[in-house]
Amino acid sequence: MSHEVIIIGGGAAGLMCALTAAQRGRQVLLIEHARQAGRKILMSGGGRCNFTNLDARPENFLSENPHFCKSALSRYTQWDFIALVEKHGIAYHEKEAGQLFCDESSRDIVNMLLRECADAGVELAVNCPVLGVSAQRGGFAVRTARGTRSCVSLVVASGGLSIPKMGATGLGYELAQQFGHTLVPTRAGLVPLTLGGSLRDEVAELSGLSQTVQVSVDGAQFTGGLLFTHRGLSGPAILQISSYWRAGQPLWVNWLPDRDLAASLLRAKRERPRLELATVLAEMLPKRLALRLCAWAQCAGTVGHLGDSYLRALAAQVQRWEFAPSGSEGYRTAEVTLGGVSTAEVSSSTLESRRQPGLYFIGEVLDVTGHLGGYNFQWAWASGHAAGEVV
């Protein structure tokens, strides 16, 4: 059976592409191998889907070509998606830093996309894994577990490798290579980092404790929550920095980003010299963390007995604490996959392959990855829309 457009992957990007193309009158088949479309949307944002960000802009995305995302993002903005959400009467709120979440449930977003697809006449095939693709005269043959379909335009929206148990496969990368595309090496992004050796055991004792910090690696810096886990470090600031961290690199944590710690310690020495150093730190940090930092820094005693230069050096250490992560939790828990289909061989305005006419790549399968905070969905909506306008 033949279709004008086949889209592989019923995630955020595939659904947006399908409804956009069908609204233009294209005859669209959307193929999804899971039992239902939009499973990652359902589990996103703690079940409330952080569906976009008021401040979404190209600087919020990582890619070998940081300019690539500009065209699609400028033609389908956060305001376009918000208008769609409002048209469907979905209540939402801003949580922090421009992040928009559903008041009720992520299901509202999935239902909205499915309704738009149904109204526009998209044919949706779920439970239908795509097994392979071949180019044929005038288009493509798409081999699925339920037979072969053919199409003129083929859109690859099969996502990245994160959370394999949710249905992630490497199909998009295989198809890209089959048609002569280059892959930027993939790695887990927006992912907790692990620590090794005795450090891991010591950190495990702090498990569950969180602190607002500034965390940095060479070239990037984020402020936000850090959460100690049984295996290492998590929380929004760590997830953000994980997309920039490379194996073997150190990262630095400022435990008190809004404070001149040296001045605070010297004042405590002057005004309350008999206080233990750990007690002074515990006035600014959770007590367990203050005690742990003192143990790591091997410092003890009353502030009155410590020299000014010692206190200044300690403050500098606490405000640039070095960790050497042993790795990350990997794709099992990563929110996104960094790298993917290189943007060098894809049109930034149409998302069409420069290697194979009629073939398109959208969403996370491409080497475009957003920061934490609704940016990845905005890329899925924008790239899906851009391809949907031309397929």
CB-based contact 142:30 (threshold 8 Å) = no
Q: Residue 212's beta-bridge partner residues?
A: 225
Q: Which residue is nearest to ligand FDA (CB)?
A: 11
DSSP3 helix / strand / coil % (the chain, rounded to 5): 35, 25, 35
What 3-state DSSP class applies to 37? coil
**Nearest distance, CB of residue 91 and ligand FDA, angstroms:** 17
CB of 365 to ligand FDA, least distance (A): 6
Residues 6+ apart with CB under 8 A from 267: none
Q: How many CA atoms lie within 13 A of 389 on its CB side?
A: 12
Nearest to 389, CA basis, from 346, 353, 349: 349
Nearest distance, CB of residue 180 and ligand FDA, angstroms: 20
Residue 382: which of 16, 90, 53 has the closest Cα? 16
Which CB atom, from 16 or from 282, has the smaller least distance to ligand FDA? 16
Return all residues near 146 (Cβ < 8 A) that are at least 6 apart. Answer: 125, 128
Least distance (Å) between residue 280 CB and ligand FDA: 39
Beta carbons of 297 and 317 less than 8 angstroms apart: yes
Q: b/e map of 8-28 (b: 16 or more CB within 10 Å)?
A: bbbbbbbbbbbbbbbbeebbb
Measured from the CB atom, the residue of 261 and 351 that comes closer to ligand FDA is: 351
Closest distance to ligand FDA from the beta carbon of 260 (Å): 35
Q: Which is nearer to ligand FDA, 130 or 278 (CB)?
A: 130
Nearer to ligand FDA, 277 or 341 (CB): 341
Burial 144-181 (b: 16+ CB within 10 A, else e): beeeebbbbbbbbbbbbbbbeeebbbbbbbebbeebeb
Closest distance of CB 301 from ligand FDA, Å: 46
Rounded Cα distance between 267 and 284, Å, is: 14
CB nearer ligand FDA, residue 8 or residue 114: 8
- CB of 14 within 8 A of CB of 32? yes
Q: Fill in the amino acid letter for 98.
A: G
Would you say 294 or 386 has its CB closer to ligand FDA? Answer: 386
To ligand FDA, the closest distance from the beta carbon of 70 in angstroms equals 18
- Our CA angle for 114, 119, 125, nearest 5°, is 50
Smallest distance from ligand FDA to CB 235, Å = 15
Task: Give the residues lining the site for ligand FDA (CB under 6 A).
Answer: 8-14, 31-34, 39-40, 43-45, 49-50, 129-130, 157-159, 162-163, 167, 169, 171, 335-336, 363-364, 374-377, 380
CA-to-CA separations, 84 to 81, 87, 298, in angstroms, rounded: 5, 5, 57
Beta carbon of residue 86, minimum distance to ligand FDA (angstroms, whole number): 18
Considering the complex, state which of residue 315 and residue 351 has its C-beta at the smaller distance from ligand FDA.
351
